[in-house]
Structure 1
Amino acid sequence: MADFIAGYISGAASILLGSPLDIIKARLQVSTGNRAISSPQPYRFPTLLSTLQGTASPLLTYGALNALLFSAYNRSLPYLPSSLTGTFLAGCIGGLASFTLAAPTEAIKCRAQLSPHLSSWAVMRALLKSHGVRGLYIGGGVTAVRDAVGYGFYFATYEGAKPLFSAPEGQAAILVAGGVAGCATWASIYPLDVVKTRVQTQVLPERGEREGLLGERKGRAWHGGWSSWECARRAYAEGGAKVFFDGLGVCMARAFLVNAVQWAIYEYVMRQFREYAPEESRPVQASV
């Protein structure tokens, strides 16, 4: 329960902190595409609230997602080798466990970020109306792969980086290790994230239009839009290999800042539980 609460608090804080840079990243990732929902100026935020565009969905679910991630990670560790390989595998398991919440959250968030006139609630209703519950899982396959690989690197890098600093249990070491872990994670999966964003933000045909596409199924997914592979192929045709790294600089800045703070909050909350919980009911110390 402790890691659930710590994960929830740290996840919600990281969403609010990283929202403006996350919006810029999403816009840059689809800036060369011609099937994005919209193409707003990457750095234009007309109001303060516009820097939080698309955060409703992650605020409602990312806390729980983060809690699920840390819970699955911590509970799988005892059954895996006591090494960075075991840590990597536990991170992969945590990433896969969080998929059920991550896929719909990402789909709603990305579409809301590129549609300033639509709220997260409106985006969700539109997806449900046109595609049913399955519509919330557009881009789910590439999201699952991204999260499994990404969180494997995330936890392994964090555990590997902490001992490199003079005070592994100190706040400075946690901040730096968390920031490094975030950057390493995004560097390892960034092309997958670009494809995911393009799949989830493409203009999807309505139900009647999807029926008309049956004669030209090549490259089409179940929702009538382009599949992940076709989105990747078309992105490469538009801008070459560099298109898979659009927005990487912004992503690295956000990754270091957000993950440094997130790990610091998580570790702090876990320490409070270990310090004040009765001895017989104290949670198992997270290996993070």
Structure 2
Amino acid sequence: THSWDREAIQLIQTLIPKETVLFIADAKIGFDSFRNCMTATVNSKTIITVNPGKDITAIFSYIYIFRTPKLTLATDISMCCCCCAVDSISDVYTVRELKQKAQESPEAFFGITYSFISRLDLDSSLSKVIKTRCSRCKYQVTEDIQNCTNPSCPGRDQALSVSTVFDLWVDITDHTGTLQACTLRSPVAEKTLGCTVEEFTSLTENGRTALRWKFLLERCKIYVLPSAKLRGGIKGTILACALADPGEVKQYMSALL
């Protein structure tokens, strides 16, 4: 066995299926009669780059939304939002522009909107805020089952491993309209709210209400993936969200005039 073979094997073992993009240069391509398909073989000249450059954002969206089989679109997007590099997103939209482009464009796209959070039901029952999902594929499950019920889960034949995560519905509003029922899920929700699921569940009702009003009706800088492919019209997935910097908002509003 060559040293580069061992290195390649060790590298591949660290990668997460369907959550990694690879750029591979100088691999040998040939037909494998045993597998009855074309295969790639690495050698001493092969260079493998993990998650290369800014364009991985678009690649991730394509993989998760259009190519992942047998998963619901909601599950695909929830997985996608964990992977996208928000630093590569720079286009700013009003809510109306997000809706129009989502309706007109067949391609997934990402954008920034400086909008108000007009719905954030943190003081609802915990079952409406927190969900249990399979740790491997993020599919929603109940803890009383033995195996994941998602037929495409990579660990479907293994003992169920679960994680408890935020799963919120958020409305975002600006002077042009409202984008309703956007999803805000872990880990983005934890970073946005500034607390873990465990910390949130330990809050009193007054504490949850106070956390809600920290964001409700406040202007936020929101990175969003809108989609017209879900039933019920235009929806979106929040990739990052934080209270907007007043200087940025002033510059943005001035550009609209």
Say whether the fold is shared (TM-score over 0.5). no
Interval containing the TM-score (normalised by the shorter chain): under 0.3
TM-score normalised by L of structure 1: 0.21
Give the structure with the larger helix fraction.
1
TM-score normalised by L of structure 2: 0.23
Give the structure with the larger strand fraction.
2
